[in-house]
Each structure stands twice: as C-alpha cells, then as structure tokens.
Amino acid sequence: MTNNENVRRITIFDTTLRDGEQAPGCSMNPQEKLEVAKRLEKLGVDIMEAGFPASSPGDLESVKTIAGVIRNCTVAGLCRSREKDIDAGREALARAVSPRLHIFLATSPIHMEYKLKMTADQVVEQAAAAVKYAKKFCSDVEFSAEDASRSDPDFVCRVFGAAIAAGATTVNIPDTVGYAMPNEFGGLVRYIKEHTPGGEKVKFSVHVHNDLGLAVANSLAAIQNGADQIECTINGIGERAGNASLEEIVMALRVRKDYLHIDTRLDTTQIYGTSRLVSQVTGVKVQPNKAIVGDNAFAHEAGIHQHGVLANRATYEIMTPESVGISKNQMVLGKHSGRHAFEDRLKDLGLSVDAQTLETVFAEFKNLADKKKVVSDRDIEALVMGASASVPETWKLDHWAVNTGSALGASGTIRLQHRDGTFQKLVSMGDGPIDSIFKAINQIIGKEPELELYELGAITGGSASQGETMVKISYQGRHWNGRGVSTDVVESSIKAYISAINAMEWELTPLASGQEGAAQK
C-alpha cells in the first residue's frame, strides 16, 4: 500500500438530491430529501447539491430546510445563468454554514444554436456576468459548461477563463449526454486544465452521465488526468441512464489506492445504509448484480468460489462487506431480546430515531418476532423506515378483509381513520384482492390516482419473511411513491398504497402541508 502522504484527496460532490431526484419516478418529498441529506452528511460527502431552487417554490423550500440543518459539509443550489435563478439560490442557501451557488450555461454548438439561440461571444459574456452577480452574495461559486464533452475545447477554456476572472472558485466539465470515451474524456480534462487562463487558482470538476455505461470509467479517467472534484449520485440515479455512481467511484479509489494514489474523506461503512435509504424513499430498487451495494455483490454460489472464500475471503472478494457497511454476521434478535440489545443494533446499523419512534419500532419488533421468531437486520431497517413517516398521515389503516377465490370475484373491505378522528368503511369489488382494496380506498378518499407501478418483494428469505411493497401513483400530472411492509403481502400492499395517498394528500392540500405543492422538474 502506498504511503498516505503521497495520496491525493479529491472532493466528492453528491447531486442525488438534485440530478438524482430529477430521474423519472425518483422524486422525493421535502421530508425524504432531508433524511437523505442527513445520511449524506453522515457518509461524509464534501458537497451536497440540495436542489434547483428556482425550479419551484417547493424545491426552494426544500433546499432552504436542508441548508438550515446540514453543518458538516457544503450545501449547493443549482442556478441557470440568470439573476432570477441566482436570487432564488441565495435565498435558499441563506442559513447554510458553507453555501455554494452552482451556475451553468451550455457551451456546445448544438446547444448554443438550438437551445440558447446565442452566439459564442454572448455565452462568454453571460457566463461572466452570472458569476460576477453570484459572487456578490456567495464566496463559493461553481460554473459548469453544460455539454462540455461536445464543445470546442478552446472555447470551453475561454468561457472558463471569463468565469474565473469573474470570481468562480470551481469550474465543471460535464459529459452531459454520456457521449465521451474514457481516454478521450481524460485527455479533454487535462487539456482544459492546462489551457484555461487562471486555471491554477480554481478546482476542476467533472459531472458524467451514464448513457453508454461509461460514467464511472470516465470519472476515474478524469481523476487520473487532474480532476479535483467528482459529481456523482447514490446508486447512480439521475436523468436518463443516470449519473456516475458514488459508491463505485469511492470504492474503486479505496480498493485501488495502491495504483491510483487517490482517496476521499468518506466513511465507506455508511455506503450500504445510504444506498438502502435512497432506494426506499425513491421506490427504485437496486439491481441484484449492482457493484458494491447489490444483493449479489458479496454472494458466492459456484462451488469453487465458495471453497475459495471459505479458505480465504480475498480469493474472490477484493473488499469486505463490512467496508461498505454490510454486516458479515447478522445479529439474531428474537422475541426474548431486550430493548438494550435492540437499541445497540439500531446504532450498529446507523439508524437514529427519536424516543417516540423508538417506542413504536420496538413494539412492532416484538410483534414481528412473535410471527417469524428471528428478526434480521433488513427487517429492522424496514421497521424503522415504516415508523418514520415522512409526511403527516391523512389516512391511517384501521382494518381490512378480502374474499377471493378461483371461482369467485374478489371483494375487499377496508376501514380507514381520517386525521380528524373519524372512520370510513367501504366494500368494493375488483379483479383481485389488491385491486378491490385499492378501489375501495379510492372511493373513500374521493380521488382516482393512476397506479403506475406495483412491485412486491421479500425483505429476507423464508416463508415467514416480511413482504415489501413499492407503489408509484400519479394524479393531475404529478407523482408519488409509497412503501409498505408486513408479513402479509395484502397488508404490505395496502400500507404502501396508503403511504403514497398520504404523500399526495399532503402536497395537494396547502392547509395540511403549509406550502403549495412543488411542480415537477
């Protein structure tokens, strides 16, 4: 292993809450974004891009909330090169301990001609003017040349030079459409860094998309060619095919520090928990063979592999599960386990809950232990996520029943409690037990959202496993996610649907949410 004195540390700029959340189906409500922000802070990212404040009132408020809570990393807000956007950004970041205004403007011929309808000189002038305006309010200003990988390199150098002269402290080279090849992109980064006027005074960043599956490779090539900052997301979520995956970049640097001589300040043991949280709040599951955080990342089925791992884990594992926060030996908790052991396991899993939530989760843990005898770490994570309601409960499940069979239609009976304390009960027919119950819920709430996704899975193996249901609904052009967990798959489905309904009701009812609903970006 190389001496740590020779290791260069790069900056990790996480944009899960901005670019990641823009991906179709990945939207989060403000409470969920705050929970993810807290987890990113615990992970140790240097900068988190909390949102695009000018895009909607809801996004501005969300960034403002995050900026007022996060204390151990920089909080950034994305802005177009317009004074109106920058004003929204500085308002949103007013309470941040370490704010950053992130300004972007396209520099490729196709974007300048068809999107911006601006000449090259106008782009240079607007970039400089925007940075100069932002600098009045914030000492840390980043400028991004959108679609830089399809831009004339000398023109990018010219734009960057103007931005630096106006006060930019970081300049970003995005591969906005995932077009570049690794050697090509690495060479572009080196060329721009060496030929940008004033480049020695700033940090150079890259933001790479995954349209050709090369985002991580391109990011590593950029690092090797002098990039100081990498922009990435948890689980690689983002527009189209996504962004560069934070966990893959960070672990590549950590595992191959001997070759790259580069590292980050991240606490890698927080990676798995952060990945799980993002997957749960967005409703987007991680594929089993996903590097680092997939269910199969540390699984061995082939006999020769199993034999090798049993003899020495290093035969087939280049990193340990523990290094990314996956417990090697899951603690067995059951109905005889006490509160102290349960609280210790929450701490080991990096899960923090308030006293009231702890009471709820511990009671549910005891009930679950009676049903399945052994409660796993994944079960505990699911209980905590279920108890930590991200929005107020307009509707709460009281009881349900279904009647179905091969020779019968399906009928569902459900009774819900409204937040005002009243109860409503309804029976409905449907194509199956889930359909009948969902129709009954729709009749009770007086709305008919479209069910865009229904996904059912098991949290752990075995017939006594908890079922985990993910749903996505849409109504009036807007989208919400819901998640439910239960040892009964019908009940987990009901809980997931009600969770999504509550998110919808909260955002569509100004008196309940205290704000106007945020428009989708």
- What is the percent of the chain with per-residue pLDDT over 90, rounded to a whole number? 65
Neighbour tally for 168: CB within 10 Å:
30
At residue 521, does pLDDT exceed 50?
A: no
The contacts of residue 215 (CB under 8 Å, 6+ apart) are 175, 178, 208, 209, 236, 242, 243, 244, 245
For 208-265, what is each residue's pLDDT tens digit?
999 999 999 999 999 999 999 999 999 999 999 999 999 999 999 999 999 999 999 9
At residue 311, does pLDDT exceed 50?
A: yes
For 128-145, what is each residue's pLDDT tens digit?
999 999 999 999 999 999
Higher-confidence residue of 515 and 166: namely 166
For 37-91, what is each residue's pLDDT tens digit?
999 999 999 999 999 999 999 899 999 999 999 999 999 999 999 999 999 999 9
> By the 8 A CB rule, do 274 and 234 touch?
yes
pLDDT of amino acid 394: 93
At residue 413, does pLDDT exceed 60?
A: yes
pLDDT of amino acid 520: 31
- What is the percent of the chain with per-residue pLDDT over 70, rounded to a whole number? 91
> By the 8 A CB rule, do 9 and 263 touch?
yes
pLDDT of amino acid 434: 94
pLDDT of amino acid 516: 37
For 266-294, what is each residue's pLDDT tens digit?
999 999 999 999 998 888 889 989 999 99
pLDDT of amino acid 494: 95
Distance CA 293, CA 286 (A): 8
Pick the CATH number of 9-282 from 3.40.50.150, 3.20.20.70, 3.30.450.40, 3.30.750.24: 3.20.20.70
- End-to-end CA, the chain: 45
Distance CA 378, CA 361 (A): 14
pLDDT of amino acid 303: 53
Instruction: Find, among 415, 410, 422, 428, the residue nearest to 498 by Cα.
Output: 415
> By the 8 A CB rule, do 238 and 19 touch?
yes
Task: Kindly write down the DSSP assignment for every residue of 452-486, as one continuous string.
Answer: EEEEEEESSSSTTPPEEEEEEEEETTEEEEEEEEE
| Token duo for residue 46 | 């240097």
pTM equals 0.81
At residue 517, does pLDDT exceed 60?
A: no
At residue 411, does pLDDT exceed 60?
A: yes
Q: In terms of residues, how long is the chain? A: 521
For 357-387, what is each residue's pLDDT tens digit?
888 888 888 888 887 767 777 788 777 876 7
For 463-493, what is each residue's pLDDT tens digit?
667 788 989 999 998 888 888 888 889 999 9
pLDDT of amino acid 104: 98
- Which range, of 96-105, 181-190, 500-509, averages the lowest pLDDT? 500-509
Instruction: Find, among 20, 507, 517, the residue nearest to 282 by Cα.
Output: 20
Ordered alpha helix ranges (H), 284-391:
303-311, 339-348, 355-372, 377-387
For 144-154, what is each residue's pLDDT tens digit?
999 999 999 99
Distance CA 263, CA 207 (A): 18
| Token duo for residue 302 | 């082939």
The contacts of residue 502 (CB under 8 Å, 6+ apart) are 389, 391, 392, 393, 394, 395, 482
Q: How confident is the model at residue 458 (pLDDT cuts 50, 70, 90)?
A: confident
Rounded to 5 degrees, what angle do the CA atoms 7, 75, 248 make? Answer: 45
Higher-confidence residue of 194 and 342: namely 194
β partners of residue 174: 207
Top-level class of domain 395-513: alpha beta
Report CA dihedral (255, 258, 259, 261) to the nearest 10 degrees.
Answer: 100
Distance CA 252, CA 269 (A): 14
pLDDT of amino acid 449: 96
Q: For residue 244, with 0-12 CB atoms within 10 Å meaning exposed, 13-18 middle and 19 or more buried, which class applies?
A: buried
DSSP H or E run through 434: helix 433-445
Q: How confident is the model at residue 332 (pLDDT cuts 50, 70, 90)?
A: low
Give 130's Cβ-side CA count (13 Å radius). 29
pLDDT of amino acid 5: 63
